[in-house]
Amino acid sequence: MDYWERLFLYRKKLLLPRINQFVNWTLGVTYLCALAFLAAIVYEYGFSLSAGETEVVHAVYRTVWIVFLASTALQIVFRQDDSPYKFTPWTWVLSALLYLTLLPVVFDRPEEGTEVYWIWAFFRSPYYRGAILLLYSFYQLSGSLVRLLGKRTNPPLILAGSFLFIIVLGTGLLMLPRATYSGIDWIDALFTATSATCVTGLVSVDVPSTFTLEGQVIIILLIQIGGLGVMTLTSFFAMFFMGNTSIYNQLAVGDMISSNSLNSLLSTLLYILGFTLAIEGAGMVVVWYSIHGTLGMTLDEELFFSAFHAISAFCNAGFSILPNGMSNPAVMQGHNLLYVTLGLLVALGGIGFPILVNLYETVIYYLSYWKWKAFGRSHRFVKRVHLYNLNTKIVLVSTAFLLAFGTAVIAVVEWNQALAGMPVADKLVHSFFNSSCPRTAGFVSVPLLSFSVQTLLFMLVLMVIGGGTQSTAGGVKINVFAVAMLNLWAVIRGSEHVTILKRELSHDSIRRSNAVIMLYLIIAFAGMFALSVLEPEASLLAVVFECVSALSTVGSSLDLTPKLSDGGKALIVAMMFVGRVGAFTLMTGLVRQEKKRNYKYPSDNIIIN
């Protein structure tokens, strides 16, 4: 029996492993090409290139295009039924769009002016090819990242690592020559990239005078990625094009985005992206309407201003491209609609995506009920008893209370001080705006140094509380604060059970809430102590405000941020990173988890009071 006969008879044992090894090697080359393609885009648009350098970049584009075509063909031809690299309908669509770029290569140039020519010209366009290659690169890289979760790795550390990667990448992008007018120090680029990715809003340089349009676009992209979460975006790409992967992989992704079941994993990701784009789009339209023709901008500048501030507000980032931010005299009067819109966007971004999904499902239920009541009485309508889950009720009630109470406190305390001289409507609007932003956007319409100490202390409380879990906001989170307060009230009353809205809270929820608050206070105190050593000339209130703002990813400052030394900036960078990833999440990823024990020690009491 010669070699070829033996290879044919034992092809599953001898041939298929080699084929799979070759396909896997090709996928590795594809990942490298995807990174090379993204690097070439950065190089082309970040630097002023000569003709020779432009030709080299275009050669990289052509090489990546050829590799992607070959890799896709190999995966289609040698794809196995039990392969982890599955083809969904959307994967076939993406592959078809990639192969349509071959039409101008296969067919000669048609006669100009005909419909066939326009089709040929469309598929020959470098914008079409670039968009497909960019989408394919994201698909490959996100798939590799999500598959990493299936390797029994540590999800919290992957989450932290993904944020760290985006921060480092953003730092490099902001240091590109075309991103700034006259250059920027690496520590300021790192500070700005961290603040944008961690949706904080603290800035050590003036954004409009330091960053060009390209730099501002980089900042808003970092804000959008940081607001949604790196794993949310990569998981969406992977699940959308790859379908469901391993069970462990799906469980890890579902835990990150708070999905109720594996069946609703992709739909939850779609909800998150859909809500984000819809709310930001609606906010952009209202913001544009409120400033149209009033700031001396062109239409393009107005549209960019609207998009930038809508994204920055919904992601609770607090970045502004106006000199002096939202306290700029050009918008302080006659723009109440702008402040109300931004305040509402901040509130919507701060309640969290699970609550938005629950509200959406409730609206759909009521629409179906009214439709049945009006037209469909012929069939039975299944009524639901509990439309809102307990998490939604707690967050909505707490958010409404904090917004109303915060507006009242700021209005009463600052009516004849920081808000003096304003019309009554303006006073109420600015009170609302400055009560919504400390949780945790960082916009200010009135300079913070003009507020009284009482208002600043109240803002500190709002900054610590923050927004809802699984939201773009920071802080200890409303849910955690509410559970801790309910537990405190139960202990004071001598009750053994913590209840709310006819529901008893689980013991695990109470323990985790107390642990989160305690860990937050420890890190906040350590940061304040270190910053007071690094910045001995700063006042205690400014140090406290800076550290709480960084750890809660708020972005408000008593004008201390631009005066920080390099050591102070590095400390605030670390606190912003810990605040965005989550101190509790980071610690559970770093500390080895104790295995469940089938025994317990005898209990004893400690003297408390």
- pLDDT tens for residues 270-283? 777 788 888 889 99
Q: Give me the residue label for tokens 């063909």.
A: 73
Q: Does residue 392 lie in a domain region? A: yes
pLDDT of 95 above 60: yes
pLDDT of 571 above 60: yes
DSSP 597: P
According to the model, what pLDDT value does residue 138 have?
A: 80
Q: Does residue 4 lie in a domain region? A: no
- For 105-163, write each residue's pLDDT tens digit: 888 888 877 788 888 888 888 888 888 888 888 877 777 766 665 555 666 777 777 78
* Count of domains forming the chain: 2
Which of the two residues, 388 and 210, has the higher pLDDT score? Answer: 210
Return mean pLDDT, the chain: 82
Q: Give me the residue label for tokens 């600052």.
A: 414
Average pLDDT over residues 487-514: 86
Q: Does residue 50 lie in a domain region? A: yes
Chosen domain end from 91, 126, 149: 149
pLDDT of 369 above 90: no
Structure tokens at 158: 């992957």
Average pLDDT over residues 161-183: 86
SS3 (DSSP) at 475: coil
DSSP bridge pairs for 499: 504
Burial status of residue 235 (CB atoms within 10 A of its CB: 0-12, 13-18, 19 or more):
buried
pLDDT of 299 above 80: yes
Chosen domain end from 118, 149, 180: 149
Structure tokens at 480: 């955690």
Structure tokens at 311: 């994204």
Determine the residue type at 359: L
DSSP bridge pairs for 211: 180
Q: Does residue 466 lie in a domain region? A: yes
Q: Phi/psi of residue 293, each to 5°?
A: 75, 10
Average pLDDT over residues 49-65: 87
Please state, in angstroms and rounded to a whole number, the distance separating the CA atoms of residues 381 and 57: 61
- Which of the four pLDDT bands, split at 50, 70 and 90, describes residue 241? low
Q: Does residue 194 lie in a domain region? A: no
Helix ranges restricted to H, 107-229 = 115-124, 126-149, 155-174, 186-197, 207-210, 213-228
SS3 (DSSP) at 514: helix
Average pLDDT over residues 490-516: 86
Q: Is 114 left (phi over 0), alpha (psi -120 to 50) or beta?
A: beta
According to the model, what pLDDT value does residue 6 have?
A: 53
pLDDT of 262 above 50: no
Q: Does residue 253 lie in a domain region? A: no
What percentage of the chain reaches a pLDDT higher than 90? 18
Q: Does residue 94 lie in a domain region? A: yes
Q: What is the DSSP string of 516-559?
A: HHHHHHHHHHHHHHHHHHH-TTS-HHHHHHHHHHHHTT----SS
Q: Which of 87-96, 416-425, 589-598 has the highest average model confidence (pLDDT)?
A: 416-425
CB 603 within 8 A of CB 221: no
Count of CB atoms situated within 10 Å of the CB of 367: 10
Which of the two residues, 46 and 560, has the higher pLDDT score? Answer: 560
- List for the chain the helix, strand, coil content (%; round to 5): 70, 0, 30
- For 399-438, write each residue's pLDDT tens digit: 889 899 999 999 999 988 888 888 888 899 989 998 888 8
CB 260 within 8 A of CB 354: no
Count of CB atoms situated within 10 Å of the CB of 11: 12
User: What is the separation, in whole angstroms, between the first and last Cα of the chain?
Assistant: 89
Average pLDDT over residues 512-534: 92
Provide the domain limits for residue 549.
Answer: 343-371+386-590
Average pLDDT over residues 555-571: 90
The residue count of the chain comes to: 609
Question: E-strand spans in 438-588?
Answer: 499-500, 503-504
According to the model, what pLDDT value does residue 253 have?
A: 53
According to the model, what pLDDT value does residue 12 have?
A: 53
pLDDT of 393 above 60: yes
pLDDT of 453 above 80: yes
pLDDT of 235 above 60: no
Please state, in angstroms and rounded to a whole number, the distance separating the CA atoms of residues 206 and 184: 11
According to the model, what pLDDT value does residue 1 have?
A: 47
Please state, in angstroms and rounded to a whole number, the distance separating the CA atoms of residues 529 and 523: 10
Average pLDDT over residues 100-108: 85
Q: Does residue 273 lie in a domain region? A: no
Which of the two residues, 147 and 370, has the higher pLDDT score? Answer: 370
Question: E-strand spans in 225-366?
Answer: none
Lowest mean pLDDT segment, chosen from 1-5, 46-50, 519-523, 567-571? 1-5
